Amino acid sequence: MHLGTWGSFERVKKAAMMLADLSSDLVIVAGDLTSKPEAEPLIDEVLSPIGEAYGVLGNWDYRYPPTSRLQSKIKLL
């Protein structure tokens, strides 16, 4: 996603809404959630329509480790 630097918030939110409409059984986020810590609150807004998601950390996530708030939205594998 790279929310905060390269990822367009509106584009990512639109994709999340489309995903929510599919009523998927499983959603996996493949890392690089944010590009800076200040963008983390956007993840709540993006993932709210989807519900629970699972994911792994990307290289950017090691630079800015996810907080417990983020981990409540994405169950890390």
pLDDT tens for each residue of 4-13: 666 577 887 8
Q: Tell me which DSSP letter residue 23 carries.
A: T
Assess if residue 2 is contained within a domain.
no
Assess if residue 69 is contained within a domain.
yes
| In contact, 51 and 71? CB cutoff 8 Å | no
Assess if residue 40 is contained within a domain.
yes
| In contact, 32 and 60? CB cutoff 8 Å | yes
Give 23-76 pLDDT, tens digit per residue: 888 888 888 877 777 777 777 777 888 878 898 888 877 777 666 667 777 888
State phi, psi for 10 to the nearest 5 degrees: -65, -40
0.85 cut: is pTM over it? no
Domain interval for residue 25: 9-76
Assess if residue 4 is contained within a domain.
no
Number of domains in the chain: 1
**Spatial distance between the Cα atoms of 9 and 68, rounded to a whole number of angstroms:** 22
Assess if residue 3 is contained within a domain.
no
| Nearest partner of 50 among 77, 13, 7, judged by Cα | 13
